[in-house]
Amino acid sequence: MTSSELWSRETAERYDAEEAENSSPAALDPALDFLARLAGGGRALEFAIGTGRVGVPLRERGVPVAGIELSEPMAAVLRTKADEETLPVAIGDMATTVVPGEFTLVYLVYNTIGNLLTQDEQVACFENAARHLAPGGRFVIELAVPPLRFLPPGQVAVAFDVSDRHLGFDTFDLVQQTLVSHHFTRDGEDGRYRRTSCRQRYVWPAELDLMARVAGLELEQRVADWTGAPFTADSAQHVSVWRKPVA
C-alpha cells in the first residue's frame, strides 16, 4: 500500500456533482481527443480512474480502457456507468498494481500523481506505467506547475479559487515538498460550509523527466494543456508525454 490518502464513500458519492464543470464536453473533449489520438487504436490504462470521469467517455469513443483505482467507493460509482466487461477496474494503488496485457497508452490526469506522497512512490508509478506499456507506447500525465512564485518570503498559502460556493487554497511545506489543498464548499442555501483537505507531493516537470528516465521512458512532448498550446515559463500546468522506446 502506498501513502495515498483513501477517498471515502461520502467523497465518492458527491464527486461527480462537484466536478460537473470539469466533466462538460467543453472541458473534457480536448483531453479525450488527445488521449484517443495517442492510443492509436490500442488499449488504454488509466491510473487512479476514480468514478470514470475520463475513462468512461474515452471508452465510449471506441478506445478499450482499463483502470486501476485505490478507492473502492470511487470504483463503485464508476460501476453505475460501465460494467466490468466494458471497463475492467483493478482495486489497488497505481505504483504497484499490475493488470493483464499490454497497452499503447497509460495516463494519469488531474494532478493525481501528487497523491503519492514520496519520491520513491512516484518513481514506482513511472516504473509501473513502463511495465504496462507496449514498445512505442506512451505515458501521459496532466499536472499543475507548483505555484511557488506566488509565495513571498514568510508566506505559505496560495488561493486557487475564490467564489460564492467555494474557497480553495494550498498551504506548502517547502522542505518536505508537499502541499495541503484546503476546500471550503457551501452546501445548500443555509450558508453552511463543508471543509475538506487533501495532501499531495508537488513535482516539477524536470523531476518528472528524471523519474521517466529511471523507468526507461523518453520525453516526447510537453504542452500547456490538452489543446496543445505551447508550454512556457508562464504556464500554470502541463500535459507531458513520455514514450517507451521500441528497441
The three grid cell numbers given for residue 201, joined into one nine-digit string: 507531493
pLDDT band at 174 (very low <50, low <70, confident <90, very high): very high
Q: pTM of the prediction?
A: 0.93
Instruction: Decide: helix, strand or coil at residue 134.
Output: strand
Dist CA 144 CA 166 (whole Å): 20
Please state, for a pLDDT cut of 90, what percent of the chain lies above it. 74
Q: Are 136 and 220 in contact (CB under 8 A)?
A: no
Instruction: Write down the pLDDT at residue 1.
Output: 59
Q: How many CB atoms lie within 10 A of CB 36?
A: 17
Residue 187, burial from CB neighbour count under 10 angstroms (0-12, 13-18, 19+): exposed
- For 137-158, the pLDDT digits (tens) are 999 999 999 999 888 888 889 8
Mind listing the pLDDT tens digit for each residue in 205-238? 999 999 999 999 999 999 999 999 999 999 999 9
Strand order in the sheet with 133-144: 89-91, 65-69, 44-47, 103-108, 133-144, 237-243, 218-223
Which band of pLDDT confidence, cut at 50, 70 and 90, is reported for residue 64? very high
Using alpha carbons only, what angle is made at residue 114 by residues 94 and 134, rounded to the nearest 5 degrees?
Answer: 40
What does the pLDDT look like over 91-117, one tens digit per residue?
999 999 999 999 999 999 999 999 999
Q: How far is residue 233's CA from residue 151's CA, in Å, rounded to a whole number?
A: 16
